Each structure stands twice: as structure tokens, then as C-alpha cells.
Homo-oligomer: A and B are copies of this chain.
Amino acid sequence: MRISILILALFAAVPVLADEGMWTFDDFPAATVQKTYGAAISAEWLDHIRLSTIRLSNCTASFVSPDGLILTNHHCVESCLAELSSKDSSLIDMGFLAPTRGSERRCSTQLADVLVGMDNVTQAVAKAVAGLGVKAANDARKKALTELEQTCELASAKAKTGKLKCQAVTLYEGGEYFIYKYKRYDDVRLVFAPEADIAAFGGDPDNFQFPRWSLDFSMLRAYENGKPAKTPSFLNIDFDGPKAGELVFVSGHPGSTQRLETRAQLEFERDVSLPSSLLRGSELRGRYIQFGSVNAANEELVEAPLNSLENGLKVRRKLLDALHDDALMARKSDDEKALQAVSQRNGPDPWAAIDDASTRERALYLPYTFIEAGAGFNSILFRFARLLVRGADERTKPNTARLREYTDTALPRIEQQLFARVPVYSEVEVMTLSFSLQRMREWLGPDYPLVRRLLATDSPDTLATRLVAETKLDDPFVRKQLWQGGKAAIQASRDPMIELARLLDDQSRALRTQFEDEVEAPISAASEQIAAERFKAFGTHVYPDATFTLRLNYGTVQGWTENGTTVTPFTYLDRAFDRATGVSPFKIPPSWLKVKDQLDLKTPFCISTTSDIVGGNSGSPLIDTEGHIVGLMFDGNIHSISGAYWFDAAKNRAIALHPAIIREALDKVYGAKALMAELSAR
């Protein structure tokens, strides 16, 4: 019995054969797919898909040629486009096509990881924490995971695979632990991106909407030793796309779901964290928009962070709506009661333990969020300063005694962030830092000791202005020197941003320890217990919550019914021209208007499918039974957002770009002959 079927049988009036589930590749329900759809999914097919799928920093992608060519979304490369832009020339606005391989441009903070192996280490972790109290177990578990990562990386360096990145993965809220092994490409270059006006056509108003007409794709290339990487595992594109009703798969990295969390955890989201982050985010949105309204240069400076913020706001707004749906909360309660009823535990009540921890979390939320989680110091330069200050401390400790984000495994990513030549715009920095200091003063109160100390003779504005003006951390060379200088360099530094990070650090670490001991530790322990109960009750045919690790799901090309109206699963190019107003975000760029007569206006544009995906799946290949790409996932409909908490088979739909519009664009609009040839070679 699957949890999906249990939930449906108990509570919902939707078809029993919901295509729900974000399955790990080692536990994909091939038998169910065979039974339901008559399709045979082999182990080789699974391996081929897995080895062709890529994890980017916050997205998914796939290899689409043997020479390392990568297909992903436009919005997944937006920070790369911003990094390669200057105040005078915006690649986000203009798009980019490398005329030759030699002119492909490196995205300095982009990594591309391919999952080459998965080791189940649940037993080893259980052994490490056996017999320990809640707090000690939490510390021991982290230490064990760091050790397992370290051992794995050392072993891989000696093996014929070559050096791999090894990362600990927690599945089923602690029901299982794995070490995932990745082949990492750290030289990733920009090959092609369309103009934002067509890539994000419809902008924030159309985000999470379907029907849809956003050309949300771009191309990168992985390099090794300065040359295009050899990538024998890659996916061919079937430019004709799928048929309505066809069985399709999505391979990718759903970021985070909370379907297995308890009611108390969801109530914390609903009552505390979502309202607070929505209010802060909404105000910041207003500041970005107003900042950008001054002139075109300002508008470009905030374009990328504003897009990302608006996407997050829409998600969180809909998450809050979902949590205000009494039916969802009632279902969650009933689900908990059903599990409690069949549970045969004799120990303490894990649900009650989570209730208690959530109460502590409410009390700790504001200082933790503003000080340790950084909501009071919204500034790229401050984040550099904190990485430098903490990194200097942590690197003096043995690997297993460090904060998890500073272990040897994690350091290369930190160094890449610190050393990259990314532009930092001081006007934007002053705005975001001043904003966050102001809100920290508002929410913690002017008499909170740290607030009082920072703002004794300053306003948030004067403090932010001075810090940004006087710090030298906008210079990657200065950052590199401070990093390499270690603790001595940090202690000697008179850089005001470093001084600020140093000033906060004891207090901030104390909040973190308190949070880990009083909230994280009891929740981890209780969640492991609940996971064990769930395994006992329902066997292993349950899928774990999303954790930005590789998953595969199956579904079909399908529309849905909205307020009695049928939404069909394909859109076509002609309607994009009808929808255009001439003004962004409904503006079709000149490159398209110029060739409109030559375009086939009946070209399919977007596809809706029943695939169970969430944020992090952006850029995922939509795959047919033959293993060909028949679409590029870039969004979900508005109902998909509640997928964080449950899968609504009747209304939750994923949105993919149709491959035919990719061909139409590359062929007729951008004249990207070499790229088309590379994609079409068989």
C-alpha cells in the first residue's frame, strides 16, 4: 500500500491512479508503470536517464549532445547572464548566442553535477547515534555524515572513477540516509539564451499560469580541461514532441516538499514563517520596483533578484492559501491519526515531541531568522564577510567538528562563490541592507541589545551606506586574500563588514546552537521515529519528501478542468502574438516580429502534464518511453504550488516547453545552425 493510495482511499474523491510520487532511481515503481501503462522500464533505461541528468546550483538540466551541450531553462541561467552583464549591456535583455565554441562564456559560479552512485548508509548512522540522548544524537549524526562523506571522497580519489563529490542525503525525514556520489563539472559556459522578453513572456503575471507562452530555455556547455566535455550519456531531442495522453517521465531535482511533516510543522509554516517572510519579501519587492523605476540602468540592476523574489512570493502566497484550506489540514490530521492508530510504539510520543519543538521554534523564530539566518543583513557583501569570518574559524577545527556547511566537501563551492568576479552594485547593496536592518529593528524592537548596539548613533540607512562605502569586499582579490589568510587575517582586518560579521558571530552561533538543540534535534529524533512507524505500517512503497536530490516520476500529457472549463494540454505560437501588448512583460522582441511571416504560427509552444514536480525541477527533461526528450519542464500551474503539502491529481499540472518551438526559435529566429546540427546529429 502506498501512502498516496492510503490518502486517496481515506479522504479524497480523485482517481485512484494518481501519477503521484517523486521516486528515487533505486526504488522506481517500474512494476506499477508496467501494470498501469504497459510500458517496460529497464534498469539500463534508468541508468541512461540518470547519467544524462544534471544538477545545477538551483535547477536541473540534461546533456543533449556527446560534447557536453546542456539544455536547461532561461531562468536557471539568469544569474549567469547577470554576472556576464555590465551596467551598459545586459545579456538578460539582449540574449546571447555564441557564434563559435571559442566564444562560449564561462559562468563563474555555475557547477554541474551528475549522480553516478548512491550508497545506503542508514545502518552506519543508526549505529553512530544508538543509545544517545536527543541532543547528543543530533550532533553525532552530523559528525557521522561528515565522516561518511569524507571517506567516500578519499576512496573515490583512489578509484578508477576519479575524484567524486560525496554528499549525505536524508530521506523520509530521517528514515533513510544515503551518500550520493556526483561527477562534478566546475567549468560551465553559456552557449545560448533568448531575450528575456520572449523567455519570460508573461512575466510575473503569467508565472505559474497555463495556458502559457514563455520560451524558457537556454543552453550551456560543460568543459573539462578547457575543452568541451565528452558526455557519452546524453538525451536525444524528439522535436515533434509528445501526443496528448502519452506516458511521459520527468528526471530532476525537486527542491523541497513537506508531505511527510506533521500538522504542527505545517501550522508553524502557516502562522509564523510564511506570513513573516511574505511581509518582508513584499516590502523588498516594492523597494526593488521603485528603485528600478528611476531609469533603465537601475531596472537592469534589480531585474534578476526581483524575478527571483517575485517567483518566491507567488509560491509562498499560494503555500499560505493551501495551508488555510481546512480540507488539507483535516486530511493531515486524519492521516496522522491513521498512522497513530496502527502504530505499536511503547516509547515517547514523537508527534507530541514535534509539537513541543514547534512551540520552541515559535519563540526562537525572530532572533534566529534575523541574526543567524541573515534576514537582518540582506547584503551580498555581508554574506561574503560571514563566510570569511566563519570559514576562518571553522577551518581551524577537525573536519567532523565543523558546522556542516564548512566541511571539506563543502569548501570548494564556498571558494568558488568567494573568488568569482561577480559584480556587486553598491546602490542595491545599500538598499537591501538598510531595508533589512530597518525590519530587524522593527521586529526585534529598538531595545533588543544587538539592535541597540548597531543603531545607537546611526539609522539603518546611515549604517548601511557607511558599511557599503567603506568595505573592500566587493573586490574578489581582497576576498581571496582574507580567505587564504585564515584566522590571523580575519582578526587583523579593519574592514567594516568583516568587523560587523565578527561582532555578531558569538551571538549568532549561540542562537544556532539553541535552535539545533531545542528545535532541530528533537524534530530529527521524532521524525526518525515516525518514519520507522510509517515503514512498519506501509512497507517501503512510499516515496520520500523532495530534498533537491535526483528523482524520477511518471505521468501523462494532460490538461485539467478549471471551474467547469476544460484546459487543453497544448498551446500554440499564434496566441502569443495575440496576447502581446507591446509592453513588457507582454512584449515580443523585434527578433521575432521581424521574421513573423516565416514562422509556422501553429507550432506547439507549451505542454501541460500530470508530472508530480516542484521548484528545483526547472530545466528537467520531459522524456518519453524511448528515452527521448519531448519537452523541457519550466513551471507548474497555480495548483502545483500546493504540491509542497500534497498532490492534487485533479488539478496539479506541470508545464513544459514543447521541443518544436525550440526548433522554430533556433532555426528561424536565431539562425543557430551549428547548434541545431549538434542537436540533430544521431
Specify the main secondary structure of chain A where it touches its partner: helix
Contact with B along A271-289 (1 / 0, CB 8 A): 1100100111011111111
Which of B205, B284, B459 contacts A446, CB < 8 Å?
B205
Q: Are B205 and A441 touching (Cβ within 8 A)?
A: yes
**Smallest distance from the beta carbon of A358 to chain B beta carbons, Å?**
12
Contact with B along A171-208 (1 / 0, CB 8 A): 00000000000000000000000000000001011100
A320: chain B residues at CB < 8 Å are 275
Identical copies of this chain, number: 2
Q: Are B209 and A445 touching (Cβ within 8 A)?
A: yes
A667 within 8 A of B: no
A282: chain B residues at CB < 8 Å are 278-280, 282-283, 286
A227: chain B residues at CB < 8 Å are none
A103 within 8 A of B: no
**Smallest distance from the beta carbon of A318 to chain B beta carbons, Å?**
12
A324 within 8 A of B: yes
A234 within 8 A of B: no
Q: Are A581 and B455 touching (Cβ within 8 A)?
A: yes
A202: chain B residues at CB < 8 Å are 446
A458 within 8 A of B: yes
Q: Bound state CA distance, A293 and B435, in angstroms?
A: 11
Q: Are A581 and B456 touching (Cβ within 8 A)?
A: yes
A290: chain B residues at CB < 8 Å are 286-287, 290-291, 431
Q: Are B584 and A459 touching (Cβ within 8 A)?
A: yes
Q: Bound state CA distance, A289 and B285, in angstroms?
A: 12
**Smallest distance from the beta carbon of A466 to chain B beta carbons, Å?**
12
**Smallest distance from the beta carbon of A247 to chain B beta carbons, Å?**
31
A88 within 8 A of B: no
A493: chain B residues at CB < 8 Å are none
A457 within 8 A of B: yes
Using A285-B286, A286-B283 as known contacts, say yes or no to A293 and B583 having CB atoms under 8 A apart: no
Residue of B whose beta carbon sits closest to that of A442: B205
A139 within 8 A of B: no
A317: chain B residues at CB < 8 Å are 279
A38 within 8 A of B: no
> What is A's interface to B at a CB cutoff of 8 Å?
202, 204-206, 209, 271-272, 275, 278-280, 282-291, 293-294, 317, 320, 324, 431, 435, 441-442, 445-446, 455-459, 461-462, 581-584, 586
The 8 closest A-B pairs by CB, nearest first: A286-B286, A290-B290, A282-B282, A283-B286, A459-B583, A286-B287, A271-B324, A282-B283
